[in-house]
Amino acid sequence: MQEDKRDKIIRGMLGGIGLMCAALVLNCARAGNAAAQGADDTAAVYAASSVKELPVFERDSAYSNVARQVAFGPRVPNTAAHEACAGWLASELARHGAAVTLQKADLPAWDGTILKTTNIMGSFNPEMGDRLLLLAHYDTRPWADKDSDPAKRQKPIDGANDGASGVGVLLEAARLLGTVNPGKGVDILFIDSEDYGTEADDDSWALGAAYFAENPILPGYRPARAVLLDMVGGKNARFASEYFSRRSARALDDAFRGAAAREGYAEMFPSTVGGAVNDDHIPFLRNGIPAIDIIDYQESTGFPETWHTADDNLDNIDPATLEAVGKTLIRFIYE
């Protein structure tokens, strides 16, 4: 995930859109217009559903999913650890009863490297329409370029939070989806090559998501709505609304936050806008698909301190945060 010139953005939020950085205003306008043309019927769909007994999200299971990913080593594209992790994720989705589809592509990165990418999707009730897509990126950043120690900045990160946390929550959700049929079409997507970008180029991030949004993974595939989880395992996390999500998919954002409040997590999901983030949800918004980014980004402090540093490791994962996001997600899915 990229921090999009936070100071400018916060000034922009306070002083009006005109102060936001040019690239993002463009992104924002394109995303907003596209989504406005698409039908976001989230409010109707989710208001009509009735409360059922929810399957229980296990924080220890989610945490072990995070630890397992970290144990592969940094999941940098074109490495053996990345490939091994991808294989494990596909096999786990299949074990939980999902129909698994792989989408492979060779995608050029900003530095000329060709990234051998694989997007991995597990579908529950694949015959049903009106599909809910839940996604998280599983690749990790090749460089700890935000570390305070210059000696560490060329080294890859563990990505326990930035990458593995969202995947860990979704794998636990997959286990529950395989146990208790939600009665609706749900796809879990592990997306590749989010975090190989450079701050000099907004389009150098979210390569796997951009490819996925432009190239249907299955004939005619198009989700009705998408929820992205990114950095959902940090200590003292707060999930304010992300700016583009709020602007372009308000009904979906409201529905997810309503589920959080009913789970007792209103404080962790404050009804404020935390900032504008360039992440895997943007390619969906550009294609007119309502999409929200659930991300730990606080207006006053930005991303967690461990972001893109060597400290993004298991020691800084809080199972209570995984549980809060996971329980909210399960309520959102099943209610």
* Per-residue tokens: 190: 């592990």
Q: Which residue of this chain has its Cβ atom nearest to Zn ion in the complex?
A: 1
Q: Give me the least distance between CB of 1 and Zn ion, in Å please.
A: 4
* Per-residue tokens: 111: 């530095």
Residue 92 sits in the site that holds Zn ion (CB under 5 A): no
What's the rounded Cα separation, in Å, for the pair 118 and 102? 6
> Cβ closer to Zn ion: 199 or 267?
199
> Cβ closer to Zn ion: 229 or 259?
229
Per-residue binder mask for Zn ion (CB under 5 A), 181-200, x = binder: --------------x-----
**Amino acid identity at 246:** R
Q: Give me the least distance between CB of 29 and Zn ion, in Å please.
A: 25
Q: Give me the least distance between CB of 194 and Zn ion, in Å please.
A: 7
Question: Which of 286, 290, 295, 294 shows the shortest CA–CA distance to 249?
Answer: 290
Burial class (CB in 10 A: 0-12, 13-18, 19+), 42: buried
* DSSP letter for each residue of 91-152: HHHHHTTPEEEEEEEEEE-TTSPEEEEEEEEEEESTT-SS-EEEEEE----S--TT-SSGGG
- Per CB under 5 A, contacts with Zn ion among 1-30 are 1
> Cβ closer to Zn ion: 1 or 260?
1
Q: How far is CA 69 from the centre of its chain?
A: 16
Contacts of 310 (CB under 8 A, 6+ apart): 144, 147, 149, 152, 155, 157, 158
CB 169 within 8 Å of CB 326: yes
Residue span binding Zn ion (CB under 5 A) among the ranges 53-61, 100-108, 162-170, 247-255: 162-170
Residue of the chain from 4, 158, 162, 296 that contacts Zn ion (CB under 5 A) = 162
Q: Give me the least distance between CB of 297 and Zn ion, in Å please.
A: 11
Q: Give me the least distance between CB of 246 and Zn ion, in Å please.
A: 21
Q: Give me the least distance between CB of 220 and Zn ion, in Å please.
A: 32
> Cβ closer to Zn ion: 1 or 188?
1
Task: Please give the size of the binding site for Zn ion, defined by CB under 5 A.
Answer: 3
What single DSSP character describes residue 47?
H
> Cβ closer to Zn ion: 156 or 288?
156
What residues line the site for Zn ion (CB under 5 A)?
1, 162, 195
